[in-house]
Amino acid sequence: MSLAGFQEAFSRALYSAELDPELVSQIPHLAASPRTLQQFAAYRERALQGLENILRSVYPTLAAVMGEEAFSRTARAFLLQRAPHSVDPVVIAEPFGNFLDLYAAEDNLPHLPDLATLDYGCFKARQAIEASAMNTRIFTDLSPEQLAARRIQLHPACFWMSSPYAIYDIWRFHHSPYSSKAAGAGYSSGSSDYPAAIECGSAPGRRWLGESPRRHRCGRNP
């Protein structure tokens, strides 16, 4: 049996919805042992745990709100649908928000997808490339024509979103600054820790920069 055949069979058994003795027995090159199934289960568990940990690092607040058990169950259901096609946590975790839409509907927790969006946006923001913030000096030497041609872009560490739920308060209550692997205590690059959290004072209640009638989600389709 070829290496490709071995990896095809191994992958199929690893990504079956449940540990399947029949699929494991079809993996070529396995030395006969009464404990092969349990040993394979150890690989499977580590692979799923590794992926689950990636999702947890991107969605620490969501995990805290859902509870470890529910988060783990949901994360695994998501991961078993298809293997991630990237190593980058930002790419792996992105579709989890859409997946949560289904979960949230089933469990009557409609705010979870927006909470996930906020977690995801913060994770991305923490890894964003450094960029100079806009300041008034850059306008000094511009002609009116040049000024008219200028376009304002969001800083790479900023994102837009809005929600009908009080997700910022929920997020702030459950969020730990040390819950994300990428977070470093005392880090300051001159920008605020959570640039998405902007409160507008022009209307009652908490709003988000860029709030519009349509819901915008960072990195996902509106």
Partner 1 sequence: MEKLPRRAGISLQPQHYQEILNSHPDLGWVEIHPEDYLGLGGAAHFYLEKIASDYPLAMNCRSLSLGSAESVNSKHLQDIAALVERYSPAHFSEHLAWNRWQGGYFHQPLPLPYTTESLDQVSFNVRNVQNALGRRILLENPARFFGLEDEFSEGAFFSELVRSSGCGLLLDLTSLYLSCLNLGKDPFKELQQYPLAAIKEIHLGGHTLMPLDDDYILLVDDHSTAICKPVWQLYRETLQQLPQPVATLIEWDHKATELSVLLEQVGKANQIISEMERKTATGEVTS
Contact with partner 1 (CB under 8 A) among 21, 25, 46, 199: 46
Contact call for residue 183 and partner 1 (CB under 8 A)? yes
- Distance, C-alpha 221 to centroid of its chain: 14
CA–CA distances in Å: residue 59 to residues 24, 54, 97: 32, 9, 10
Contact with partner 1 (CB under 8 A) among 25, 38, 192, 212: 38
Contact with partner 1 (CB under 8 A) among 19, 47, 70, 80: 47
Residue type at 128 in one-letter notation: A
Residue 64 near residue 176, CB atoms below 8 Å: yes
Segments in 150-202 forming alpha helices (H): 167-174
Residue type at 3 in one-letter notation: L
Distance CA 26, CA 55 (A): 30
Distance CA 109, CA 107 (A): 5
Give the interface segment with partner 1, choosing from 67-75, 89-97, 138-146, 202-210 (CB under 8 A): 89-97
Contact with partner 1 (CB under 8 A) among 13, 14, 64, 196: 14
Contact call for residue 181 and partner 1 (CB under 8 A)? yes
Give the interface segment with partner 1, choosing from 32-40, 144-152, 163-171, 206-214 (CB under 8 A): 32-40
Give the interface segment with partner 1, choosing from 10-18, 63-71, 137-145, 213-221 (CB under 8 A): 10-18
Token pair, residue 134, equals 């806009």
Token pair, residue 95, equals 């579709």
Contact call for residue 173 and partner 1 (CB under 8 A)? no
Nearest approach, Cβ of residue 106 and partner 1 (Å): 26
Of 118, 102, 138, whose CA–CA distance to 217 is shortest? 118
Binding site for partner 1 (CB under 8 A): 2-4, 6-8, 10-11, 14-15, 29-31, 33, 35-36, 38-40, 42-43, 46-47, 50-51, 54, 82-90, 92, 125-130, 156-157, 178, 181-187, 189
